[in-house]
Amino acid sequence: MHGILDDNGNILASFVVPMTLVSKKQSIVSDTLSMKRIGSRQAGQRWELETKLFPLNTDANGLFAHMVDKGYTEKFNIIVPQNTGSVANRIILREVGLTVFSGTGTVPFIVSSIVRFGADGPICTVIHIDGANYYVSPSVAMALSGVSVYEYIMGSWVIVSDVVASITPTQLWPVIASAPAGTDTITASLPAAQAADEFLIPAGTMFTVGTNKKLYMAVEDSTAGVPFKIHPNLQSSVTDEPIVYGDTVKMQCFYDTTVISGMQYSDGILMDNGSVKLIEAL
């Protein structure tokens, strides 16, 4: 689930439509008398997201404190919304095999469900379903057995009463990339031990590379060993650095100066700040 994160990585507020994610570059464009277009633009680029937030009630205090604390000059992280077509077409390597056992009824989870193992346990996103096996991201480091499963629904955690989970951690084999700084193409591959595995990063996917917090977009589909175009150009060189391209991609942001640095109530009960604009921190 995409949304604003607090300093501990928990979602404070979820994004809802309408939502706009744009690539911003300083550019000058003019049309000549002969109707030809002449333009130039700077190399610098940042992403800007304008979106509505899901209205909050009893848990609105966290977002209120966050907006006041961060103001317009302090950085924070968000989970980046992904294009629906990219999500539908991607092939992502499994991180954890999660077997869900249902005592009664039908297991309610779908791809993109946010789940928690135990009241204070790890939080993950369902990224793939194969029969009774639910694959989740990020990786859970410890083995768990017979724990209750909670699902994040409409702004709160709800226990799924007839579902318990057992988890056996599996080795994570990340997609890795190598490319020099300044290039507009990179090559993704897998470590030699897993070279036969399959993955696909579709065009339109938002991703990060290595420890660099800069956000990129795949302009072309990427499969193992085939260079693919990205936007913007790579800021710094990478050598066998992991690519993060699932439902947990983060972008470091500032609140835009148009955002209310406080709270706004729509009916005296629900905190609803309307649309907020977030700009990428470079």
Domain with 206, as residue range(s), is 84-90+173-246
Mind listing the pLDDT tens digit for each residue in 3-59? Answer: 899 888 888 888 988 899 999 987 788 888 888 888 887 778 999 999 988 877 766
Task: State whether 136 and 110 are in the same domain.
Answer: yes
Determine, yes or no, domain membership for 193. Answer: yes
Q: Is residue 34 part of a domain?
A: no
Give the angle subtended at the CA of 208 by the CAs of 70 and 99, to the nearest 5°.
Answer: 100
Judge whether residue 129 has pLDDT over 80. Answer: no
In terms of Cα–Cα distance, which of 209, 203, 199, 193 is closest to 244? 209
Question: Domain total for the chain?
Answer: 3
pLDDT in tens, 161-191: 778 877 766 555 578 888 999 999 998 887 6
Contact 5, 250 (CB under 8 A): yes
Q: Which of 143, 169, 195 marks a domain boundary?
A: 169
Tell me, yes or no, whether 182 and 140 share the same domain: no
Domain-located, residue 256: yes
Mean pLDDT, rounded, for 84-93: 76
pTM value is 0.70
Closest CA to 87 of 184, 189, 207, 196: 207
Report pLDDT digits (tens) over 191-231: 665 555 567 888 999 999 988 889 999 999 887 778 899 99
Does residue 215 form part of some domain?
yes
